[in-house]
Structure 1
Amino acid sequence: MTVQHTEPLELPAGMEPDNPLWRYALAHWRDPDVADACLELQSEGWSVSRILCAGWLATRGQPFSGVEDAKVTEWRSRVTGCLRSARKSVPRANDPGRELRDTLAKAELLAEQLELALAWHTLTELEPESGKMQDPCTIIRQNLMAAAPSRDIPLRLTPLLDLLVGRLTDQATRGHTSCT
């Protein structure tokens, strides 16, 4: 077995783990339909943090360019993804493994919080301050498409995207607009 030694990742000074993007993510994660849709898209190669960034920016009327800071991508790959993979490797039905699985799940959540803190730090520096360029349904759909892992989105994923557009729009407009 070869152990690969890597340097620790450097996090920006003044990074805020409890930021508006994190609170947005927590609020939407409480909706089981949004959580299920995000997890299903994740199993198709999407990044939940990119989905949430796209939604958060849309609620501010801002487009999501789809460009992500290298530190966010590296954190997801080296930390969040590794913890998720380790958690999924521990059998659910294994009582002796339950404590390890629970500990890994807590560590994964903290890693996701730091990943979103890195994203928020970048988004607030790179994206325009505000904008009200389009109706919420359109901008959320465009932002989700920008968050996709590729331009070729299978038709079977359309219902998940429609659900997310509707739920994120309901949050953004407090129920005043429908995306039907």
Structure 2
Amino acid sequence: MPDYPWKYHTDSDQEALLLDNPFWAYALDSWRLPGVETAALTLQMRFNGHINTLLFCFWSAAQAQYCSRQVFLAMPTWRQWNQDFVQPIRQMRGLIHKRSQDFSAYRSALLDLELQAEQIECALLYRAWLRYRKASPDIDYESMLQRGIIDYTLGLLDEKVHLKDWYTAINELYPRLCSLPAPTVSQWIEMSNAHVGHTSGDT
């Protein structure tokens, strides 16, 4: 991975990024676990889910830090990066995949570029976490993890996505990254409905 001499920032967000950070290492290790890639790609392709942010929920909870909605919403930089760079590269790679094998070298190059773009996205998330993390010694890992996933769901997920379908897919990923049993889909929806500011049920 090359060192990037530039910064991706807004006027109020000018610290250099730490590309090789603990969260990036966790994301790489998690992707290699059995079944994670398949479950994660389902969330990404079917629901346009942000896989790095979901992995971030698991990692943050393991640090005994609550991944609050501030990380997801108060820092637009990482989402802008995903929209401006990660998504276009991924879409281009998908288009080339539909072409003949003559384009395989280009697809491989785009895959490498996409990985680099995702590393920057993870660095932006990590920087936001350093700013807004909240130590939660009185909240157990399971509760912090579930609160983080619900905050992500209510803050970032497309409103058109049915929560029942979303949480069904989440439960394919959950046990592959967590040794604890996943809540049932009904329990996920009940917790989501109880969350501040959300009353729309499973729509």
Normalising by structure 1, report the TM-score: 0.80
1:11-59 deviations in whole A, cap 9, x for unaligned?
4443111000101101100014122221111121211121111111111
**How far 1:119 moved relative to its partner?**
0.8
Q: Which runs of 5+ in 2 are unaligned?
A: 1-5, 183-203
Instruction: State, as a whole percentage, how many aligned pairs show the same letter.
Output: 22
Deviation at 1:66, TM superposition (A): 2.9
Q: Could you tell me whether the CA contact under 8 Å between 1:64 and 1:143 is conserved in 2?
A: yes
1:97 corresponding residue in structure 2: 103
Structure 1 counterpart of 2:150, one-letter code: M
TM-score by length of 2: 0.72
Aligned-partner residue type, residue 135 of structure 1: D
Unaligned runs of 5+ in 1: 1-7, 171-177
Q: What is the alpha-carbon distance in structure 1 between the residues aligned to residue 146 and residue 56 of structure 2?
A: 13
Hey, what's the Cα distance between the residues in 2 that align with 1:26 and 1:97?
26
Structure 1 residues 18 and 39 mapped into 2: Cα distance closer, same or farther (>3 Å)?
same
Q: Deviations over 1:75-129 (max 9, x none)?
A: 000011111111111135621110011100000000000000011011111112x
Q: What is the aligned length?
A: 165
Give SS of 1:74's match: helix
Task: Give the AA of the match of 2:35.
Answer: D
The separation in 2 between residues aligned to 1:91 and 1:167, in whole angstroms, is 28
Amino acid at match of 1:10: Y
Which of 15, 18, 21 is the aligned partner of 2:20?
18
Pick the aligned partner of 2:167 from 137, 158, 170: 158
Higher RCO by CA contacts (8 Å cutoff, separation 6 or greater)? 1
1:106 to 106, 112, 131: 112
RMSD of Structure 2 on Structure 1 (CA) = 2.2
- The amino acid of 2:88's aligned partner reads C
Matches within 5 A, 1:1-180: 10-11=8-9, 12-43=14-45, 44-67=47-70, 68=72, 69-92=75-98, 94-128=100-134, 130-148=135-153, 149-150=157-158, 153-170=162-179, 178-179=180-181
